[in-house]
Chains A and B, each alone.
Chain A
Amino acid sequence: MSVIYMLISISIVVAVFFLYAFIKAVRGGQYDDDYTPSVRMLFDDELVKETNKNQINITEEKQL
């Protein structure tokens, strides 16, 4: 039954780790702006897509 001591200790350690991670994230300002990142993450794809398109066009022209 002493396994309970171990399991509970582990679970508390995990919980403390999450609390630490949460506080660190808040302190780092991650929650100060909760809107812009959600928009920003969609942007990079658009740019890459366009440059890819250009490259494809160029190669097609060469083949012709």
Chain B
Amino acid sequence: MNPSQCFHCGNEIVEKDRIVFEAKSFCCNGCKTVYEIFSQNDLTCYYDFQSAPGATPLDIKGKYDFLANEAIVNQLLDFQENTTAIVSLYIPHIHCSSCIWILENLQKLQPGIIASQVNFPNKKVRITYHSEKTHLKAIVELLCSIGYEPYISLENFGESKKRVDRSLIYKLGVAFFSFGNIMLLSFPEYFEVGEFWIEQYKDFFRWLIFALSLPAFIYSASGYYVAAWKSLKQGLLNIEIPIALGIVVMFIRSTVDIIFGFGQGFFDSMCGLIFFMLLGKLFQQKTYDFLSFERDYKSYFPIAITKILPDGQEEAIQVYDIKKGDRLLIRNQELIPVDGILISEKASIDYSFVTGEAVPIEKESGDKIFAGGKQLGKLIEMEVLFSVSQSYLTQLWSNDVFQKKVEQKHKSITDKVSHYFTPALLLLAVLSFGYWIFIDVSTAFNVFTAILIVACPCALALTAPFTLGNVLRIMGNRKLYLKNAIVIEQLAKVDTIVFDKTGTITTNKKTSITYEGEILNDFELKLIKNALRGSNHPLSRRLYDYLPPQELVGVSHFEEIIGKGVIAELEGGTVKLGSSQFLQHMSEATHKKTKVHVEINGVYKGSYVFNNQYRQGLEQLFEELAKKYELVVLSGDNDGERKILEKMLPPSTHLVFNQKPEQKLVYIDSLQQQGKNVLMVGDGLNDAGALAQSNVGISISENVNVFSPACDGILDAGQFSKIAFFLRYSKNAMLIIYMSFGLSLLYNVVGLSYAVTGNLLPIVAAIIMPLSTITIVSFVTLMSNVFAAKK
């Protein structure tokens, strides 16, 4: 174990904060406490599976008080009867086998817990507990104390239990059962034609095959009939039509064959076809269970909030029960759920959720505060103006974009091809029938059915699912998680890319800080760093991290004036840090930049300027994209950074500033009106409307487990510079599909040449069908990996 890393969480240890306990180093008291809890309960195995698996527990005092309210708890529980209760909690930190182990041994930490079971892919833990011996609140607090804070939001509230749809797997199982057994029973007749024993048992075999094919024909393939019928009603020629037609014709022809003793029929090919096509469907259904692409404000909002009753008592109430005129108590780091008026003297509200802007906004008593902000610092009181559903932020979700279920806005590539394929096929079948009917009527029927059977576009229908499924996996490995396969096709069509500024092309994490003014000596730096130690303001924290390590100096007096700055009296001087108003230093008129001014012993020294830092590789990315795409940067901020951006980005980039969330949506819409296919790359809730409106909305996330707005894809922030690769790759995926279409058409031509001449034997169909499937699947898998390897 690296001694400079924390034994519990693996973070770098700051030397002066090092805590050594039982010969192990920890970065903070929190981590040490977790270790203590585990070692007292003989659970130190936790550290054996994975080194440094933990997370630092956060201070949650009072945060989960609402769980004391029985009505709220009941909404969260999966099950309750007598004294047994079951709850499922989503824990974003679950990431390794140590996590599974400790969470499944919770009963050792709290006796009231009966059992707990982790679902790793969903990052959920299902806890069964004794509701008289312990309480949900105690369990949640226990989880927090060991660094596994569950995420409980309004979304969990009263959520109807989703039924998992497993019908595809059942259908696949049934199809495989039919396919396998029919293949075995068909074999004798392929090779032993005319033998004495087969003649004797022929009927038994054939009728058994017929019986076995029924479940696959009726149940497994049912989805295709429904889809074909739907597209017929809409007057579209989907790929499902020739598939359904092929299956039905195969079944009828084969039944006729065995009734009249013409032959054994095509039941084996039919079941194989159904099985392979269902397999393709399953392959395409890659989902990232732990990610959710359909989030709205509910996943951000807390379930309950503290209400102050007229008699001064506090009570936790559900967010939906908040009424106009209620007085609410908002604690540090709590989200404001409704619009209202501030009653407390001062508040400092972080609207980064809504605007993407990380610098908190100061509010004074009587100011209006909006839902979606996060209170930083002391607890505040507010009076409610609107209920949840009428608040400004939630109003955004009543926009039409969020209401309509996007029922495949676009025609998929397979449907486009089948638009030509289906009529051509029907034409060919009718023509051959017309030709043969003058020669021999029974051959004419044979040829007609054989064409529909052999041309049943199995390989064609499998191409897209297997290619896109594979591309989806490869992109997932490279940390672009797409909602489904259709997104890839749309990504390939994009011609305009719109970027949000704050949080998307800039990072929130590191801000480059520059100093302007009189040069500070080492002693002054030491004073500043020590003065910042006590402050919790985000700018103070960032500045503190930026300054080089200094030795500690005793602080005799420290005062933080919220929204203004800090005054600290230290050994050797007095330091005043904060806004220009606070220091009464009004020489500068620039309020566009974020600055912290410094005054030492009454003398103004200068200011630290916080510049937004752009993501790595931004310039190269834009340069590369500018060659093929139209680029737009859409920002909610003022145009303070226009100059820098103009210098950095290619001259063709449009820069649009001062855009409110609805304006962003309208802007995207106007681009689409001009016939553009728009890719929106954004991050915060302020982009939610634009992400939903765009053809493809990709949300950038520093940590994919943390919540991002509704979108078509989630991209890990570290992969930002690879956007060009993903776009190119999606285009290549389409190329692969076209190539593979060519290949499967080739098979169709071979098969049809048998069919048109009236020579299609069951054995030929039984060979061509799996052969084409295998070729297509291996071809697309190979090609998609080859293209992925190309940078």
With both chains docked as a complex, state the minimum distance between the C-beta of B171 and any C-beta of chain A, in angstroms: 10
In contact, B201 and A33 (Cβ under 8 angstroms): no
B762 an interface residue at 8 Å Cβ cutoff? no
**A26 and B42 alpha carbons, distance in the complex (Å):** 37
A36 an interface residue at 8 Å Cβ cutoff? yes
What's the interface size class on B, roughly? 20 to 34
Interface residues of B in 101-119 (CB under 8 A from A): 101, 104, 117-119
Interface residues of A in 13-64 (CB under 8 A from B): 15-16, 18-19, 22-23, 26-27, 29, 31-36, 39-40, 42-43, 46-47, 50
Known A-B contacts: A23-B170, A26-B170, A50-B42. Give 20 more (CB < 8 A). A1-B200, A1-B201, A5-B204, A8-B208, A12-B212, A15-B181, A16-B177, A19-B174, A19-B177, A23-B173, A26-B169, A33-B122, A35-B120, A36-B118, A40-B100, A40-B118, A42-B97, A43-B104, A47-B45, A50-B45
| B 114-139 to A, binary, CB cutoff 8 A, 1 in contact else 0 | 00011111100000000000000000
**A32 and B166 alpha carbons, distance in the complex (Å):** 9
In contact, B180 and A15 (Cβ under 8 angstroms): yes
In contact, A33 and B119 (Cβ under 8 angstroms): yes
B22 an interface residue at 8 Å Cβ cutoff? no
**A31 and B197 alpha carbons, distance in the complex (Å):** 44
In contact, A26 and B173 (Cβ under 8 angstroms): yes
Using Cβ atoms and an 8 Å threshold, which residues of chain A touch B121?
33-36
In contact, A31 and B169 (Cβ under 8 angstroms): yes
**A38 and B302 alpha carbons, distance in the complex (Å):** 35
**Chain B interfacial positions (CB closer than 8 Å to A):** 42, 45, 48, 97, 100-101, 104, 117-122, 164, 166, 169-170, 173-174, 177, 180-181, 185, 197, 200-201, 204, 208, 212
Q: Once A and B bind, how many residue pairs between them come within 8 Å at the CB atom?
A: 61
In contact, B208 and A39 (Cβ under 8 angstroms): no
Using Cβ atoms and an 8 Å threshold, which residues of chain B touch A42?
97
Using Cβ atoms and an 8 Å threshold, which residues of chain A touch B42?
50
With both chains docked as a complex, state the minimum distance between the C-beta of A29 and any C-beta of chain B, in angstroms: 8
Interface size of A by CB at 8 A reads 28
Query: Which A-chain residue is minimally distant from B99 (CB atoms)?
Result: A39
In contact, A39 and B180 (Cβ under 8 angstroms): no
**A19 and B758 alpha carbons, distance in the complex (Å):** 38
With both chains docked as a complex, state the minimum distance between the C-beta of A39 and any C-beta of chain B, in angstroms: 5
Using Cβ atoms and an 8 Å threshold, which residues of chain B touch A4?
201, 204
**A34 and B48 alpha carbons, distance in the complex (Å):** 23
Query: Which B-chain residue is minimally distant from A32 (CB atoms)?
Result: B164
Query: Which A-chain residue is minimally distant from B204 (CB atoms)?
Result: A5
**A40 and B164 alpha carbons, distance in the complex (Å):** 23
In contact, A36 and B120 (Cβ under 8 angstroms): yes
In contact, A36 and B173 (Cβ under 8 angstroms): no
**A47 and B181 alpha carbons, distance in the complex (Å):** 46
- Of the A-B pairs whose beta carbons lie under 8 Å apart in the complex, a sample of 21, sorted by A's number, is A1-B200, A1-B201, A8-B185, A8-B208, A11-B181, A12-B212, A15-B181, A16-B177, A23-B170, A26-B173, A32-B164, A34-B121, A36-B100, A36-B117, A36-B118, A40-B118, A43-B100, A46-B101, A47-B45, A50-B42, A50-B45
In contact, A33 and B45 (Cβ under 8 angstroms): no
